[in-house]
Amino acid sequence: MFNQRFFKTFFLPIILIVCGSVFNPDAHAQEMKVYRPGDWKPLLESRANKPMIVHFWGFTCSPCLDELPHWGDFIAQFPEVKTVFIEVDQIPAELSIQTLRDARLDRADHRTSSASFDEYMRYEIDPRWMGELPLTMLISPKGEIRRLRGTVDFKIIRQWLAQF
């Protein structure tokens, strides 16, 4: 027979600890940084004359979600490469963090948009960007930008990195 007192005394605290570590973003991942209008230039300047990759993705983009685990593999192989992931949908941070954790990206540099990722925010990044996702930008140490639209071929990224 079910003993409520035993459950409350022994199992409930264990369940709360486990659930707290699963659903608490601070337990597994760094806090999501907020990406705001005007953040593009400072982000570019943060590369410190080193190559940097900026990957734009959305939770409502199936190819983006399919590709995230491959990014997890890439980050594991190239942890020294500054790679920033910017999530453009306005979803709860917990959902985004769980998605990134599942892709083994919970320790990568993440940003989430503070407002609707509209044409003004896109224009600041690239006047030619119409909002298609995923979008990856390879930024050289000199600030030259190569755009990769759609899911990426990581061989191209490795070849690009070999230049530096």
Q: What residues does each domain of the chain span?
A: 1-29, 31-162
How far is the C-alpha of 83 from the C-alpha of 109, rounded, in Å? 7
Helices (H) and strands (E) in the chain, counts: 8, 6
Q: Which amino acid is at 35?
A: Y
Q: Assess whether the previous peptide bond of 127 is cis (omega < 30° from 0).
A: no
Q: Which residue has the tokens 């020294």?
A: 80
Per-residue pLDDT of the chain in tens (164 residues, 90 and over written 9): 544 444 334 443 444 334 443 444 343 345 789 999 999 999 999 999 999 999 999 999 999 999 999 999 999 999 999 999 999 998 888 888 899 999 999 888 999 987 788 888 999 999 999 999 999 999 999 999 999 999 999 999 999 999 99
How far is the C-alpha of 3 from the C-alpha of 6, rounded, in Å? 5
pLDDT of 32 reads: 80
Q: What is the reported pTM?
A: 0.80
The answer for 27, left when phi > 0, alpha when psi is -120 to 50, beta otherwise, is alpha
Q: Which is the CATH superfamily of the domain at 31-162?
A: Glutaredoxin (3.40.30.10)
**8 A C-beta contact, residue 23 and residue 97:** no
Token readout for 121 is 């925010």
